[in-house]
A and B are shown apart, each in its own frame.
Chain A
Amino acid sequence: MSTYITKRILYMIIILFAASFLIFCLYALTPGDFITGNIKLTPERKAELREIYGLNKPVIERYWTWMKNAFHGDFGYSLAQQKPVLTLFNQYIWNSFLLAIISTFLTWFIAVVVGVFVAYKQYSWIDTFVMLFLFAAMSIPSFFIGLFLIKILAVDWKWLPPGGMLTTGSNATGLAYVKEVIHHMTLPVIVMTLLGVGSLTRYFRSNMIDVIKQDYIRTARAKGLKERKVLFTHALRNALLPAITLVGFELPALFGGSLIIEKIFNWPGIGQLYMQSFTLRDYPLLMGFTMFIAILTVIGTLLSDILYRVADPRVRL
């Protein structure tokens, strides 16, 4: 086990190195740089600024400078926002995380419960109805459903705020603050859950159907176990196993923010910040953020491998 982990960590470092180089090249070679978009500058001034920012140096040299600083824990200043990249992450990521953790929890919870239930009632009218609903929810584009809900629930009926995270100008603290945030996050969480729950429910449903057909389930039933026990102890545990792979993938998603949802609901998350930085070619921020996601992805896969070991005694690492 421990040799396995050492080996994995070694691989991870190599992968991250390769990824960082690839990501850096990708950003550096995208046409246009931080200076290009500023139409106010004269060509002469543009050249001066490229010199100041080091953008006129070869890509490899820029990469080494970046790497060297990153190893010293210095991810640089955002060119556009004039703040250290890590400070900016700290200001925005937690907002994204809050949305993601709650909607992920809801998605998984609903998907497991509904998935098990409709698998058990396979081909019944309720199964058909639920599947129909889930397909519909999955296929509607998020920006449409988001704007539609804003129109109905916020603008017309005035039940929920149309966006943001706080009531503008509010000085709420403590419990009142928590209440305000919950009020504001209801709409985005509904939309994110609606979008995610469809595929996950389908996934659990089909896993569950496979498992229910196994011999050991028939054996369990033949032993005279209660149906509930058969379903939730014997069937569900086995049906959940493949989902561990998904858990690994959820890790970067929790911190990565959602471009579309954050834009529509004006949520102050990292996804919006990233998108703006990309159009501006704010290299330090882009590099920092993409590397952060790369690290989380690698850790996520390691985590799911270890979880397999914990959950399934048949797996030997």
Chain B
Amino acid sequence: MKKRVVTLSTAILVCAILLTACGSNSNNAGTANNGAPSTNQAAPSNTASNAGTTPAADANGLYQASDMSKLPDTAKNRTDTIIVGLTDPSGAFTPYFQQSGYDGNVSSLLYTPLLSVDNKGLPIPGLAEKWDVSADNLTYTYHLRKDLKFSDGSPLTADDVAFTWTILHDKSYDGDSQVSTLHVVGGEDYKAGKATSISGIKVIDPQTISVTLEQPNASALTLLGSDVLSKAYYGKEYKQGQLDYMKKLSSSPLGNGPYKLEKFIPGQEVRMIANENYFGGKPKTEHFIYKTSDGDTWQYLETGEVDYASFSATKENIDKLKELGFVNVQAYTPSNYGYLQVNLAHPALKDKLVRQALTYGLDRQSIYVEASQGAYQVANIPSSLISWAYTEEGINPYKYDPEKAKQLLDQAGWKVGADGIREKDGKKLTIHYLGSKKPDTDVFIAVAKEDYEALGIKFEPEVFADFNALVSKVEGGDYDLVSFSTSLLTDPADGLLQFVDGEIAGYDNPKFKELYAKGLATSNIDERKEIYKQIFQLLNDDLPVIFTSYKKSVYAYNGRIQNLSISPFNGLAPSLPNWTLSK
């Protein structure tokens, strides 16, 4: 009996640890993806490097299915239904009012935004056919298409847009939309209850709406140009300061996207059916199902239970996918970047020279490219690889150079002591590293420990199975170095926000703040490109964090699906209405 309890509890313990590891990953991914779905598309620029190892890919990094006769019957028998795996949709399908990115994936099919973005992150028309930005960059005007309808046939007008923006400023709003941080004129008063409407939001006619900000913000255009909630449906019970009723509506969404919700089976499926009122025309495939399963579960793709899945871009995975024969395989890079957050209160790490030494002295190529079989690419700036602002001009690649690192450490005054550990003013140079429990972290620790000890730095790693525990330790300041990744970024300013909003505590460079404000003050892309180049060069030299990597992934989809393309920013939603199943 005792033995049973012991074995049982050990097994549970081991697996709990394993599961928390997966759990925290998905938690991470879940929150990261909020609003922007987790499925992404290849950036042609970086798949070129991939093509070197796997020559069968075409110019876009796509490997065509080689043998469709291997297609399992399960998939063959589905003629009007496409099934995609999704880790954990919880059933809260109202955009802005959901807590998990997986629910965001579902609502991105049920709702269509005013503006979408193209594969470089530049705005393209959605529900709004055009938009104007005033000369002072303070007023944004959206012109809606004619005859827009919600999925129940009711009309969608500028009033609905105004309603959506208004409730996001309500003081009881508990979601993570950033709209209220844009400083819309009158937004603060509304939040404080001093006004009953927001003066900066003006409905000009049923097709036209404008919004005025207190300070220019170039990311406002896409941030405000998001999903629209029906005022007639979601506003029925609304009283200022009271949004609790929204919870009741979360499982019965009324949208305007390509699909509408047919049935949600908790823990199993989200069934959707084509929306005949979709402005772009009724989607070509009648049924679409999100099946609850981890995104990378092989068995469902292999048995044909799902038509689409996404995996880490290791050579092993790509080879295995190609072997299946009946799937097309496409490489892509999500729009985020990985970094090591540095504790800038640490006596050594607040010195720029030491941070540079740590970057030179870390063999990032080995960790992120070689050990991971090409599943990552080394990053040197706080921008996603696929953004229109990405540049390598004037960027120091910090190639692995232990000699240079030693020299910088000497220069910073950290001299090798008697025991081989560097010290300054009687203090030893130790680095306490925190990482989430996953194989990538194990690789990092193995290499970093060796690299840093060779420089005379004492490296003390600590691994967390639980993401929240790790973040709370970082918030408490009890760390020197910690591995993080940003959420998916749309505007280049998104990736810089953490350096201005106090998240990276202790980084205060007036030059950077000035450039950051300048980058948001204009909507002209060429001007912005130039400003972001300067910012990236500045941060690449300053290293308020150590930039590490871009994760690469592949998605595999059933060779029968035609017209599939995945937006790096909006996932499969934009192309889904055109997906068809060939016979």
Contacts and interface: CB of A to CB of B under 8 A. Distances in A.
Nearest to B7: A138
Interface stretch (A1-9, A78-86, A230-238): A78-86
B269 A169 contact: yes
Of A31, A82, A151, which is in contact with the most chain B CB atoms at under 10 Å from its CB?
Answer: A82
A263 interface: yes
A79 B97 CA distance: 11
Contacts of B544: none
B303 interface: yes
Interface string A139-171: 101110000001100110010011111101100
Interface string B458-478: 000000001111111101000
A184 to B, nearest CB: 10
Contacts, number: 191
Given A40-B487, A91-B266, A260-B19, A82 B469 contact: no
Contacts of B174: 49, 52-53
Interface in A68-82: 77, 79-82
A267 B473 CA distance: 34
B471 A36 contact: yes
Interface in B3-39: 3-4, 7, 11-12, 14-16, 18-20, 22-24, 26-28, 31-32, 34
A53 B244 CA distance: 12
Interface stretch (A117-125, A212-220, A273-281): A273-281
Of B293, B297, B471, which is in contact with the most chain A CB atoms at under 10 Å from its CB?
Answer: B471
A40 B300 contact: no
B19 A154 contact: no
Of B174, B267, B300, which is in contact with the most chain A CB atoms at under 10 Å from its CB?
Answer: B267
A248 to B, nearest CB: 13
Given A40-B32, A281-B468, A259 B266 contact: no
A279 B15 contact: no
Given A81-B90, A142-B11, A169-B287, A150 B487 contact: no
Interface stretch (B312-320, B361-369, B496-504): B496-504
A45 B177 CA distance: 10
Contacts of A168: 83, 269, 289, 291, 305-306
A33 interface: yes
5 nearest A-B pairs in the assembled complex, by CB-CB distance: A268-B267, A32-B468, A199-B4, A279-B23, A32-B472
Of A36, A43, A142, which is in contact with the most chain B CB atoms at under 10 Å from its CB?
Answer: A36
Interface in A87-107: 88, 91-92, 95
B302 interface: yes
Contact of B267 (A30, A92, A142): A92
6 contacts: A91-B266, A154-B299, A162-B299, A169-B269, A259-B15, A275-B23
B292 A81 contact: no
A200 to B, nearest CB: 8
B293 A82 contact: no
Given A92-B266, A169-B78, A268-B292, A279 B27 contact: yes
A150 B303 CA distance: 11
A165 B293 CA distance: 12
Interface in B120-175: 172, 174
A38 interface: yes
Contacts of A53: 174
Contacts of B26: 276, 279
B1 A39 contact: no
A275 B501 contact: no
Interface string A39-56: 111111100010011000
B5 to A, nearest CB: 9
Interface in B300-346: 300, 302-303, 305-306
A272 interface: yes
A212 B11 CA distance: 34
Of A49, A142, A267, A278, which is in contact with the most chain B CB atoms at under 10 Å from its CB?
Answer: A278
B251 interface: yes
Interface of B: 1, 3-4, 7, 11-12, 14-16, 18-20, 22-24, 26-28, 31-32, 34, 72, 78, 81, 83, 88, 90-92, 97-100, 172, 174, 176, 181, 247, 250-251, 265-269, 271, 287, 289, 291-293, 297-300, 302-303, 305-306, 466-473, 475, 484, 486-487, 497, 501-503
A188 interface: no
Contacts of A300: none
A79 B471 contact: no
A169 B503 contact: no
A280 B468 CA distance: 7
Contact of B268 (A33, A166, A276): A166
A279 B267 contact: no
B85 to A, nearest CB: 10
B4 to A, nearest CB: 4
B300 A163 contact: yes
B485 to A, nearest CB: 8
Contacts of B497: 42
B471 A32 contact: yes
Nearest to A41: B176
Contact of B81 (A77, A81, A169, A200): A169
Contact of A37 (B14, B90, B467): B467
A47 B471 CA distance: 15
Given A39-B471, A82-B99, A268-B266, 12 more contacts: A36-B475, A37-B28, A37-B31, A40-B31, A42-B181, A91-B267, A92-B266, A164-B292, A203-B1, A276-B88, A279-B26, A280-B468
B181 A45 contact: yes
Given A36-B475, A155-B303, A266 B293 contact: yes
A115 interface: no
Contacts of A280: 27, 99, 468
A81 B92 contact: yes
Of A138, A169, A278, which is in contact with the most chain B CB atoms at under 10 Å from its CB?
Answer: A169
